[in-house]
């Protein structure tokens, strides 16, 4: 509730309408569709409190009581969808302030091939005979709905009022995965890539995609999930990419045949016997840790830097293994030495094996070959001094990023869409389903017609809901947290508005209702632009803080509030607070009859302070 009211409290025409007392001349207590004027009065009192200097925090208690009285679905303190509540608030204000005291009976006429202008005007005038309020004046526009018969092409146009646009977020059947590629040539640095791939693809398809970029056969790539500086799990070729989460740190290593992968300095004196098989070589996973700060438990061990994989002969001596590892670390520049310093490179780290939750140091003095299993994990244990002085394996210090990866990082790993794309999706043609079939008067039967929406006339204040919740099945709905880029200023809808324009349909954003979390839970906040200083503020229940314009566009944005530029939006006029003196007198005279709320915060910030007009508890 707070988020929606905070957005409405930033709506200048509504503020002026209630604070200058005009609403009292239009309140409709006899409308059977309204709330006997109780809601309008409660909302006026809340605005009066928000924009006065009596308190720094306002509690919408009476507004909630009235809503609960007439709409049991909002009873209690369970969280409700902010858009559903906003729709109820606007509709409730409309009915309580409807200037039509006695609604006439009207009939809806079919278009019958008449010009759109004639049909639209007729529909709007018919609607205004029963609905006329400040909400209609500012928040309502007109939609054109076109139905086309798939059999005979007959077209039926209908024009209906709207108070907000619920626009879909186009969901692409592709996703972007960011990964780091490690070429086998250690003179080449690792590089990050952002790959766009079908959501139903496999890891093998992902390897094929990377293969086309780096020029390495897909069968020569190993893919791992790196977590806490260790290989957490290998992604197998048959795994679906849906197994890869957006938060996963994916590494792709180029490999060759096990024998070709052996460093020259190890195998140069080793002849491959005729009966030697691939089992004489083993591919090892290598992790690094600092001896002082690392530990081993039955759940694992803490690591530093970047893990890697190499292939070695099996068995192998300690010195051969050490030299192979050192060669890799130096060529990868994970180890770097000052030119003026003489370093004993034989004492840089110790080699341990880790298997079945146990760590064992290898005997560095032994010259006997060591039999190693591919189930063994090799740990390089660095002393604190050696780690500080020579180890440079932190990813952020060496990783290069392709432009494709940078774009994925900027979008948070999600597909980025624009508000224009959302609106285009809303106005695109679609075919009705079997359960929504339309009756064609010429065919004399129901047809799955083609339906298309267009904006005929745009309102002065345009409310746009981003449909972030998609139906997964009959029980669950999924939240779409794609970033939607929307303009803060100068949103030009000229090309989208088909009907007559009383003013150029160019809009500026003035409020955003945000939703964090999942469907049925989470948290709501709001961003509002103050009418006096034009600054943005973040409203989080009773907390209000200044925000930068860059914060406003986020993946949490849910409901957007735009104002057309011709709408008067002057700085707040102190003289509008005409209720202040009378309210204080009324409170003083009725103080003995009213029960005091001891939880109410002390009076403080005056209404001229931008933060005060948004504080909700």
The per-residue pLDDT for range 246-279, each reduced to its tens digit, is: 888 999 999 865 444 444 444 444 454 455 444 5
> If DSSP states are collapsed to H, E and C, what string results for 206-245?
HHHHHHHHHCCCHHHEEEEEEECCEEEEEECCCCEHHHCC
Q: Do 321 and 405 lie in a common domain?
A: yes
Distance CA(396)–CA(398), nearest Å, equals 6
Average pLDDT over residues 377-404: 77
pLDDT of residue 605: 29
The tally of domains found in the chain comes to 2
Q: Which of 13-17, 394-398, 554-558, 583-587 has the lowest mean pLDDT?
A: 583-587
CB 190 within 8 A of CB 400: yes
- For CA atoms 564, 567, 571, 576, the dihedral sign is negative
Q: How many CB atoms lie within 10 A of CB 190?
A: 19
Residue 366 three-state SS: coil
| Residue 186 scores a pLDDT above 90 | no
DSSP 459: -
Cα–Cα distances in Å, from 405 out to 195, 399, 414, 480? 8, 11, 12, 21
243: left (phi over 0), alpha (psi -120 to 50) or beta: alpha
pLDDT of residue 144: 97
131 belongs to a structural domain: no
**Angle, vertex CA 547, rays to CA 543 and CA 553, nearest 5:** 115
pLDDT of residue 356: 72
Distance CA(41)–CA(487), nearest Å, equals 35
Token code pair at residue 388: 């500080």
- For 295-326, b/e burial (b = at least 16 CB within 10 A) is eeeeebbebbbbbbbbbbbbebbbebbbbbbb
Q: Do 237 and 339 lie in a common domain?
A: yes
pLDDT of residue 599: 30
Express each pLDDT in 120-135 by its tens digit.
999 999 999 999 999 9
For residue 334, what is the domain's CATH number? 3.10.20.90
Q: Do 274 and 359 lie in a common domain?
A: yes
For residue 59, what is the domain's CATH number? 3.90.70.10
518 belongs to a structural domain: no
**pLDDT tier for residue 547 given thresholds of 50, 70 and 90:** very high
| Residue 388 scores a pLDDT above 90 | no
Express each pLDDT in 292-303 by its tens digit.
655 554 445 678
Listed residue (410, 459, 276, 287) closest to 359, CA to CA: 287
Q: Do 87 and 195 lie in a common domain?
A: no
Distance CA(480)–CA(260), nearest Å, equals 47
Domain boundary among 410, 425, 448: 410
**pLDDT tier for residue 443 given thresholds of 50, 70 and 90:** very high
| Residue 368 scores a pLDDT above 50 | yes
Residue 550 three-state SS: helix
Which residue reads 């969901």 in tokens?
Answer: 171
Distance CA(568)–CA(116), nearest Å, equals 30
444 belongs to a structural domain: no
323 belongs to a structural domain: yes
Q: Do 335 and 199 lie in a common domain?
A: yes
Kindly report the pTM of this predicted structure.
0.66
Q: Do 202 and 54 lie in a common domain?
A: no
539 belongs to a structural domain: no
| Residue 574 scores a pLDDT above 60 | yes
Distance CA(535)–CA(532), nearest Å, equals 8
Cα–Cα distances in Å, from 261 out to 179, 292, 300, 314? 23, 33, 29, 13
**pLDDT tier for residue 83 given thresholds of 50, 70 and 90:** confident
DSSP 594: S
| Residue 476 scores a pLDDT above 60 | no
Q: Do 82 and 196 lie in a common domain?
A: no
Q: What DSSP string describes 341-353?
A: S---GGGSEEEEE
Q: Do 188 and 53 lie in a common domain?
A: no
The upper half-sphere exposure of residue 544, i.e. CA atoms within 13 Å in the direction of its Cβ, equals 26
| Torsion of the alpha carbons at 28, 33, 34 and 35, rounded to the nearest 10 | 130
Q: What DSSP string describes 526-549?
A: EEEE-TTT--EEEEETTEEEEE-H
Listed residue (106, 135, 140) closest to 123, CA to CA: 106
| Residue 453 scores a pLDDT above 50 | yes
Average pLDDT over residues 429-451: 92
Q: Do 214 and 328 lie in a common domain?
A: yes
pLDDT of residue 608: 40
Which residue reads 């160019």 in tokens?
Answer: 506
Token code pair at residue 192: 């990050």
Distance CA(40)–CA(92), nearest Å, equals 8
**pLDDT tier for residue 403 given thresholds of 50, 70 and 90:** low
Give bridge partners of residue 93 from the DSSP assignment.
none
Q: Do 93 and 183 lie in a common domain?
A: no
Element (H, E) at 135: helix 134-139
What is the percentage of the chain residues whose pLDDT exceeds 90? 51
157 belongs to a structural domain: no
Residue 87 belongs to domain spanning: 2-98+572-614
Q: Which residue has the higher pLDDT, 169 or 360?
A: 169
Listed residue (372, 271, 359) closest to 312, CA to CA: 372
Distance CA(37)–CA(44), nearest Å, equals 11
359 belongs to a structural domain: yes
Q: Do 84 and 182 lie in a common domain?
A: no
> Average pLDDT over the chain, rounded to whole?
83
Give bridge partners of residue 476 from the DSSP assignment.
none
Listed residue (510, 514, 538) closest to 524, CA to CA: 514
């Amino acid at each position: 509730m707070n988020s929606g009211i905070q957005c409405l409290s930033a709506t200048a025409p509504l503020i002026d309408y209630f604070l200058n007392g005009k609403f009292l001349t239009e309140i409709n207590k006899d409308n059977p569709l309204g709330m006997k004027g109780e809601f309008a009065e409660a909302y006026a009192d809340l605005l009066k409190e928000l924009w006065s200097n009596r308190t720094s925090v306002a509690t919408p208690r009476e507004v909630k009581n009235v809503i609960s009285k007439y709409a049991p679905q909002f009873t209690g303190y369970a969280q409700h969808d902010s858009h559903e509540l906003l729709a109820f608030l606007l509709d409730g204000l409309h009915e309580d302030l409807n200037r039509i005291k006695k609604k006439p009976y009207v009939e809806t006429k079919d278009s019958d091939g008449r010009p759109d202008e004639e049909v639209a005007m007729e529909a709007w005038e018919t609607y205004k005979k029963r609905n006329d309020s400040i909400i209609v004046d500012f928040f309502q526009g007109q939609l054109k709905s076109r139905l086309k018969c798939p059999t005979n092409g007959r077209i039926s146009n209908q024009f209906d009022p709207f108070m907000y646009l619920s626009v879909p977020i186009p969901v692409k059947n592709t996703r972007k995965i960011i990964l780091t590629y490690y070429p086998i040539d250690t003179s080449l640095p690792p590089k990050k890539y952002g790959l766009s791939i079908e959501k139903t693809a496999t890891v093998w398809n992902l390897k094929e995609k990377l293969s086309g970029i780096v020029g390495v056969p897909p069968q020569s790539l190993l893919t791992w999930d790196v977590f806490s500086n260790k290989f957490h799990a290998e992604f197998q070729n048959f795994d679906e990419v849906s197994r890869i989460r957006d938060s996963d740190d994916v590494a792709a290593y180029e490999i060759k045949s096990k024998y070709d992968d052996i460093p020259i300095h190890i195998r140069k004196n080793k002849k491959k016997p005729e009966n030697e098989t691939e089992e004489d070589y083993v591919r090892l996973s290598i992790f690094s840790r600092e001896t002082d700060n690392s530990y081993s438990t039955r759940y694992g061990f803490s690591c530093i830097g970047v893990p890697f994989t190499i292939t070695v002969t099996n068995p192998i001596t300690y010195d051969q293994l050490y030299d192979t590892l050192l060669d890799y670390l130096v060529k990868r520049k994970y180890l770097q030495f000052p030119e003026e310093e003489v370093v004993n490179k034989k004492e840089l780290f110790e080699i341990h094996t880790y298997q079945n939750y146990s760590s064992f140091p290898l005997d560095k003095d032994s010259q006997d070959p060591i039999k190693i299993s591919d189930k063994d994990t090799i740990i390089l244990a660095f002393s604190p001094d050696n780690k500080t002085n020579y180890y440079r394996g932190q990813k952020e210090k060496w990783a290069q990023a392709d432009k494709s990866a940078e774009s994925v990082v900027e979008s948070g790993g999600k597909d980025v869409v624009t508000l224009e794309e959302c609106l285009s999706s809303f106005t695109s043609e679609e075919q009705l389903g079997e359960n929504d079939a339309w009756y064609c008067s010429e065919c004399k039967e129901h047809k799955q017609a083609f339906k298309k929406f267009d904006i005929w006339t745009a309102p002065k204040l345009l409310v746009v809901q981003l449909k972030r919740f998609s139906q997964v099945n009959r029980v669950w709905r999924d939240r779409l947290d794609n970033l939607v880029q929307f303009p803060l200023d100068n949103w030009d809808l000229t090309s989208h508005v088909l009907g007559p324009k009383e003013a150029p349909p160019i809009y500026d954003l003035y409020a955003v209702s945000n939703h964090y979390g999942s469907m049925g839970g989470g948290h709501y906040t709001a961003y509002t632009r103050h009418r006096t200083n034009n600054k943005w503020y973040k409203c989080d229940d009773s907390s209000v803080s200044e925000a930068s314009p860059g914060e406003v566009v986020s993946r949490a944005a849910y409901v957007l509030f735009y104002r057309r530029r011709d709408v008067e939006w002057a700085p707040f006029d102190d003289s509008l607070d005409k209720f202040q003196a009378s309210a204080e007198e009324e409170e003083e005279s009725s103080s003995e009859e009213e029960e005091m709320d001891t939880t109410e915060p002390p009076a403080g910030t005056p209404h001229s302070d931008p933060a005060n007009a948004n504080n909700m508890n």
